[in-house]
Amino acid sequence: MKKLSLFLFLIIAIIFCFAQSVSLKDFERMNSVKSPKEYLAKKDFTVKQDSSSGENIKLKLINRATREIIYVTSIKDSEGARSVEVDYFTESKEEYAKIVHAVLKSGYNPIRDNRHYDKRVGSYETHNLVLREMVAVKDKDYYNIKYSYYAGKELSMPTPPVSK
DSSP string, 73-98: EEEE-TTS-EEEEEEEEES-HHHHHH
pLDDT, one tens digit per residue, over 107-126 is 898 887 778 999 888 778 88
Task: State the Cα–Cα distance between residues 135 and 114, nearest whole angstrom.
Answer: 17
98 domain-assigned: yes
Judge contact between 116 and 128, C-beta under 8 A.
yes
5 domain-assigned: no
83 domain-assigned: yes
15 domain-assigned: no
At 109 the three-state DSSP class reads strand
Average pLDDT, the chain: 81
* Number of compact structural domains in the chain: 1
Q: CB count, 10 Å around CB of 90?
A: 22
Task: State the Cα–Cα distance between residues 47 and 40, nearest whole angstrom.
Answer: 9
Element (H, E) at 140: strand 140-151
Structure confidence at residue 17 as a pLDDT band (50, 70, 90): very low
Residues in the chain: 164
Judge contact between 84 and 72, C-beta under 8 A.
yes
2 domain-assigned: no
Max Cα distance, the chain (Å): 72
* pTM assigned to the model: 0.78
pLDDT, one tens digit per residue, over 34-69 is 889 899 999 999 999 999 888 889 999 999 888 899
Full domain range(s) for residue 88: 21-155
